[in-house]
Structure 1
């Protein structure tokens, strides 16, 4: 499967993990809760730029237990609809914090009509 890019603004998100705004792990020992929080974090990173989950064209999942991760499709379907982003899933030994079970990196293409530069990139922003 392939995704053909259009003419929107391509945004590469760094890998998102299951941390809240205070840096605390959400869903310790609960992969399903962590997947939900990671997808919420992706949504929340895209929103200030005018992005939506429908704009995500590619995902790379780094999971500490690939079999357990594959049972979270129902959660992912709450955030994405067809056509789904192309995905790659990789099993890893661990993430940078032992409590984390999943990291997801995303690429989105936000239509120019909706795209807004993040505040920190605007001239004069602090």
Structure 2
């Protein structure tokens, strides 16, 4: 059974995907790659990698929060950047969201994302401790 989560405070899915999926009964959460969109689906920080990285990590944080998760629960992230050199200048922003021990990361440069004004997409996997985990009201269950 797939338990999908689509928080109301993050941009709504517009295709065949969910913002996060809870693995099995519970506590390992796979987050959809987040981009720099506000809750209305508008790009935040056009042509500004630093603003986009910040908004993306805020979206990751907000998706986790509806399940009781925190950024310290993130085990791994994959960064898809359209300009890896520009992305490498955002380490200080990542340190605002992540603390040691840091999640494992993979960073790749891609030609473009689904909207040309987007510069970064970040996917994550987290494990939320049972003591904090809560199933959100916005959960959808697929057969």
TM-score normalised over the length of structure 2: 0.78
Secondary structure of 1:45's aligned partner: helix
Q: Which residue of 1 aligns with 2:56?
A: 38
Q: CA deviation at 1:118?
A: 2.0
Residue 111 (structure 2) pairs with residue 79 (structure 1) = no
Name the CA shift for 1:54/1:65 in 2 (closer, same or farther; >3 Å). Answer: same
Aligned residues: 116
Distance in structure 1 (CA, Å) of the matches to 2:115 and 2:67: 28
Match of 2:111 among 62, 73, 93: 93
Match of 1:53 among 71, 81, 88: 71
Secondary structure of 1:119's aligned partner: coil
Higher relative contact order (CA 8 A, sep 6+): 1
Structure with the largest fraction of strand: 2
Aligned CA-pair RMSD: 1.4
Q: Which moved more, 1:50-59 or 1:111-120?
A: 111-120
Distance in structure 1 (CA, Å) of the matches to 2:39 and 2:120: 17
Q: CA deviation at 1:122?
A: 7.5
Contiguous gaps of at least 5 residues in structure 1: 1-7
Distance in structure 2 (CA, Å) of the matches to 1:84 and 1:108: 12
Residue 30 (structure 2) pairs with residue 25 (structure 1) = no
Q: CA deviation at 1:9?
A: 1.0
Structure with the largest fraction of helix: 1
Structure 1 residue ranges (4+ consecutive) displaced by more than 6 angstroms after TM superposition: none
